[in-house]
Amino acid sequence: MTLADFAEHALALVQHKDLIKKQISEIHKKSDVEYEIVYNDKIVALHISPTLEKAHSGTIICDNTKKNVDAVVQNWDELIKLNTTILFLNVKTGGNWSLHPKTHQKIMGSDNILKGLKSIYANCA
């Protein structure tokens, strides 16, 4: 799958999640992987890439793969500091799940992160 195809699926997911609230007023494309979502009350940076190579602030949409889950665990502390939201998307099944490292850290603590994330990943794989 090309990056453009993945981005198309990711943007469809973002728009689908806004169907009820209708808070998105615009989506601006900054580059092939960087977008800006303009909500009624805020602007959110959106990074779309099948692979999670580094931490970004705002929202990240990546493919639901074990490699990306492992990258989250490796970058956990940085993702917490950046207050990142990550959406894992399985394009084949349409399944997705989201992760807010800062919130999950408060609930689960660091000791159970890998086990918990792998469990969620497996349910969407």
Q: How many CB atoms lie under 10 A from the CB of residue 44?
A: 15
d(CA 101, CA 27): 24
| Domain coordinates in residue numbering, the chain | 3-124
If you count them, how many residues does the chain have? Answer: 125
Total Cβ atoms within 10 A of residue 99: 19
Q: What is the pLDDT along the chain (125 residues), one digit of tens a residue?
A: 899 999 999 999 999 999 999 999 999 999 999 999 999 999 999 999 999 988 888 999 999 998 998 899 888 889 888 889 999 999 998 889 999 988 888 887 767 777 777 777 777 76
The pLDDT score that the predictor gives to residue 86 is 94
Question: How far is it, in rounded angstroms, from Cα 79 to Cα 85?
Answer: 8
pLDDT confidence of residue 125: 65
* Among candidate residues 41, 90, 96, the one with its CA nearest the CA of residue 63: 90
Alpha-carbon distance of 41 to 108, in angstroms, equals 30
What DSSP state is assigned to residue 112?
A: T
